[in-house]
Structure 1
Amino acid sequence: MAVRAFEGKDHAAAYLQYRVAPDELIHRIMSYMQNQAPNRFSLALDVGCGSGQGTIPLAPHFTKVVGTDVSPAQLEMALTNENPPNVSYRECPAEKLPFASGEVDLVAAMTAAHWFDREKFLLEADRVLRPGGCLALLSYTLDMELEYGDVSTTLNDICEELYAALLNFRNPYLGTSSIKIYSDMFDCCSYPDKEWNECLKVKRVLPLSGYIGMVESFSSFQELVQKDPEEAERLSNATRTKLMSAMKVSSPDADVTVVVKYFYWLARKPL
């Protein structure tokens, strides 16, 4: 059974504003594909595209890129981007993609596949992929780290308190570890040509408020908002205050380096 999330307009807007475009991961995907068949590719799907952070970076590499999602609110946000002319979006579930069998060069899901009906999605991805096409699934752990001068350790202790508080609001469908979900899907993929990558650290310099915004876009934080909005606001404000104090800054606009730890796997459909 798939799970629908991130569908409220406010949540979708936060997702667009704060989520990081995984450019380094796009580079890894394209290097993997070009090692197999170094030419321009026709069609890429970004399944569970959200507001399009991973969709747009695919545009230079394909004749056509389509982002798909079940959430009208997310797709509405995606359309507010400056989308290249070869990028479009469609509303549909991940388990029923409106494309012909063997039509697609790349099926990618970026920080989304853990919400899908995993068995049905893998079968559908296999159906639409052409022989030699690539399946790419990626996500990141929620224990993002901060780097700032000589107080990084102090900042990350504060962040760990925040993550621990949100664990109680994690969707039970996800279990205790997203890495295990993706590892299990990797094991279920029958393609002999496949590779698993445990950790790729992606660093971005963001305002401290941008880091807080990213955390507030997590499904676990949004669950807390639904159950106890006052506690969600208190937790967010307290974390912001502690981080600013440790950094000795007076504004949440102060820049900090955010380290996002991605994991991903790539697989090539047999010819």
Structure 2
Amino acid sequence: MAVRVFEGIDHAAAYLQHRVAPYELINRIMSYMEKRMPNQFNLAVDVGCGSGQGTILLAPYFTKVVGTDVSPAQLEIALTNPRNPPSLSYRECPAEKLPFAPGEVDLVTAMTAAHWFDREKFLLEADRVLRPGGCLALLSYTMDMELEYGDVSNATLHDICNEFYTALLPYRNPHIGKSSMEIYSAMFDSCSYPDKEWNECLRSKRILPLSGYLGMVETFSSYQKLLQQDPAEAERLSNDTRNKLMSAMKVSSPDTEVTVVVKYFYWLARKPL
């Protein structure tokens, strides 16, 4: 059974504000497709689209893009994005039951979402809606994002961040276990398409205010669970992490910009003709 998370309107709004968009991954997906099916980009479906940061990046390449999600709150927030082009729409539905005809879709993506699905049913559903030659692209990132700031030791910043991540581990949803990468690797192995590739680490750097990095971690399901169970402890943990980082960086404002290193992993596969 799929797991439903990220459904509160405040959480959805924070998701749109703080989650990073996977620009580099979109380039990798399109390069993979262009080598195999040039000039045939009609319909892309982004499953578990959330607030649409990744979905909107597909719009320049396809005649039509549809983002799907089970969360009405996430879709409500996605629809508020003023950058949404006319070719982009959103549908509320589970990942395992997509509202498309067999063979109708050129690309099925799931960006930082497939670990929440009923994985076996989702892969069968993706195969059903993909046309022969169509592509499936699944991507996510590890929790251990790194920070870089000036000449401050990366190890010092990493240790502080790692304390934050470690404190959240007890609140991690059992559905995704200790490692989401293992989930994606197992899904890759179970995909029967002969034309497929696995990529374990693509380091993507983003310049964000320190408060933006903390805001992104606070959107994680583990932090949100802690926030629900013990709001005071969640606030204390976040504030403590912020203060330790600011002290190590020797800065007085959480608006100070840092480099956040996000470590993506992903896999791509093409349905046989």
Question: Quick check: TM above 0.5?
Answer: yes
Indicate the SS of the match to 1:10: helix
Q: Distance in 2 between matches of 1:176 and 1:20?
A: 22
Q: Is residue 194–residue 266 contact of structure 1 (8 Å, CA) maintained in 2?
A: yes
Q: After TM superposition, give the deviation of residue 161 of structure 1 in Å.
A: 0.4
TM-superposed deviation, 1:150: 2.0
CA distance in 2, matches of 1:78, 1:29: 22
Match for 2:77: what amino acid?
M
Greater displacement, 77-86 / 23-32 = 77-86
Aligned position for 1:85: 86
Distance 1:7 1:180 in 2: 25
Q: Which residue of 2 aligns with 1:29?
A: 29
**Residue 153 of structure 2 is aligned to residue 168 of structure 1:** no
Is the contact made by 1:48 and 1:68 (CA closer than 8 Å) also made in structure 2?
yes
Return the letter of the residue paired with 1:72.
P
CA distance in 1, matches of 2:40, 2:11: 35
Once the two structures are superposed, the pairs formed by residues 130-141 of structure 1 within 5 Å of their partners are 130-141=131-142
Q: Which residue of the partner structure matches residue 13 of structure 1? A: 13
Partner of 1:256: 258
**If the length of structure 1 is used for normalisation, what is the TM-score?**
0.99
Matched, 1:204 2:206: yes
Count of paired positions: 271
Residues 40 and 63 in structure 1, CA contact (< 8 A), matched pair in contact too: no
* Residue in structure 1 matched with residue 249 of structure 2 by the alignment: 247
CA contact (8 A) 1:95 1:116 kept: yes
Q: Which residue identity does 2:114 align to in structure 1? A: A
Structure 1 residues 113-262: aligned runs within 5 Å: 113-151=114-152, 152-262=154-264
Distance 1:259 1:45 in 2: 27
Root mean square deviation, CA, Å: 0.6
Q: Is the Cα–Cα contact under 8 Å of residues 46 and 66 in structure 1 kept in the other structure?
A: yes
Q: Deviations over 1:99-145 (max 9, x none)?
A: 00000000000000000000000000000000000000000000000
For structure 2, list consecutive stretches of 5 or more residues without a partner in the other structure: none
**How far 1:241 moved relative to its partner?**
0.5
The Cα shift of 1:153 comes to: 1.8
Deviations 1:50-71 (A, max 9, x none): 0001100000000000000000
Determine whether 1:104 maps to 2:105: yes
Q: Give, in angstroms, the shift of residue 176 of structure 1.
A: 1.1
Runs of 4+ in 1 over 2 A off after TM superposition: none
Shift of 1:33: 0.2
Partner letter of residue 117 of structure 1?
A: D
Worse-superposed segment, 146-155 or 249-258? 146-155
Cα distance in 1 for residues equivalent to 2:260 and 2:109 = 24
Aligned to 1:168, what secondary structure does the other structure show?
A: helix
Find the aligned partners of 1:256 and 1:153 in 2 and give their Cα distance. Answer: 15
| Contiguous gaps of at least 5 residues in structure 1 | none
Residues 59-108 of structure 1: CA distance to partner in whole angstroms, max 9, x if unpaired? 00000000000000000010011201110000000000000000000000
Asked if structure 2 preserves the Cα contact closer than 8 Å seen for 1:40 and 1:61, the reply is: no
